[in-house]
Structure 1
Amino acid sequence: MVQHFQWKPLFKQANLPGWRISFYFKGTHYDGIYHKNGQVEWGTAIPPGDEEEHLLSQIHELMLFHVYE
């Protein structure tokens, strides 16, 4: 489960797409850039391949709720 999810626009101009995200998942801190097409560029840590798809699904749901309401 994703915990302490945070997001903010990449640019001061909020109309431009792209958001910096950070969160904890299974005790590991992850960060990255969420693009408008749903793609994530991972930062310092990359989730294991078997969990990445499930994690991306959760992130997409959170972004839909917070950004695209």
Structure 2
Amino acid sequence: MITHFQYKALFKKANLPGWRISFYFRGAHYDGIYHKNGQIEWGSVPPPSENETDIQSQIHELMLFHVYD
């Protein structure tokens, strides 16, 4: 389960989509960029491949709730 999820617009004072995201998963910190098409560009440390699909699904739900409501 994702905890401490945060997001912030990539561009200040611009109506361009894209968000910097960060969160914890099983005690490890992850970050990346969430693009308007739903693609996630992971930061320096990607999540474990066996959990990546589940993590992406949780992030999509959070972004739909917070950004696209």
TM-score normalised by the chain length of structure 1: 0.95
Superposed CA offset, 1:37-62 (max 9, x none): 11100002111111100000000000
Aligned amino acid, residue 42 of structure 1: W
Across the aligned residues of Structure 1 and Structure 2, the Cα RMSD in angstroms comes to 0.9
Residue in structure 1 matched with residue 57 of structure 2 by the alignment: 57
Aligned amino acid, residue 31 of structure 2: D
1:29 is paired with a residue whose SS is strand
Q: Which has the higher helix share?
A: 1
Count of matched residue pairs = 69
Counterparts of 2:26 and 2:45, CA distance in 1: 13
Counterparts of 2:5 and 2:14, CA distance in 1: 19
TM-score normalised by the chain length of structure 2: 0.95
Moved runs in structure 1, 4+ residues, more than 3 A? none
Aligned amino acid, residue 67 of structure 2: V
Report sequence identity in percent: 72
Segments of 5+ residues of structure 2 without an aligned counterpart are none
Aligned amino acid, residue 18 of structure 2: G
Segments of 5+ residues of structure 1 without an aligned counterpart are none
